[in-house]
Amino acid sequence: MRLIVHRLEPGELNHELLWLSVSVGSLACATIWFSFGLPWPSCVFHDITGLPCLTCGATRSTIAFLHGNFVAAWLWNPIAFLALCGITLFDLYALSVLVTRARRLRIVFLNERAKHFTRFMVIAALALNWLYLLSHYKAFAA
């Protein structure tokens, strides 16, 4: 795996603009949703089994994160907390690149082995997060 820096070429997908728009748009939709008092999202897996799913606590983690309560955000769902940190950093990077028209960072996988290793690490992190959530499942009964 290698990081490269280059200028956006004509016809190349502008990931920074796309994902910054998705991120800000999602936050706006969620804000509107909750400001109208619409119901919280329901988890079919949790409703059927009584156990937390892989993403249980992500909404509560996000709310705690946006209120600056990072410890609570971590406790609700560690992987959601890490994703929110990553999204925040990416949004700051994307905004700065778009405003300054600077070069773009890209991740390049040098071989298939690196891709497989990365996939394995992501799946392992998700599995560990789910084990954490299962060990604290009583917190999700509320």
47 falls within a domain: no
30 falls within a domain: yes
Tell me the per-residue pLDDT of 107-130, one tens digit each, with 9 for 90 and over. Answer: 888 899 999 999 999 999 999 999
Tell me the per-residue pLDDT of 15-43, one tens digit each, with 9 for 90 and over. Answer: 999 999 999 999 999 999 989 999 987 88
Q: What whole-number percentage of the chain has pLDDT above 70?
A: 97
CA–CA gap between residue 62 and residue 70 (Å, rounded): 9
Examine the pLDDT at 141 and tell me if it is beyond 80. no
**In total, how many domains does the chain have?**
1
111 falls within a domain: yes
pTM of the model: 0.87
CA–CA gap between residue 125 and residue 132 (Å, rounded): 11
32 falls within a domain: yes
Q: Which domain holds residue 102?
A: 2-36+52-141
Tell me the per-residue pLDDT of 3-22, one tens digit each, with 9 for 90 and over. Answer: 899 898 899 999 999 999 99
Q: What does 95-137 look like in DSSP terms, one character per residue?
A: HHHHHHT--EEEEE--SHHHHHHHHHHHHHHHHHHHHHHHHTG
* pLDDT for res 14: 95
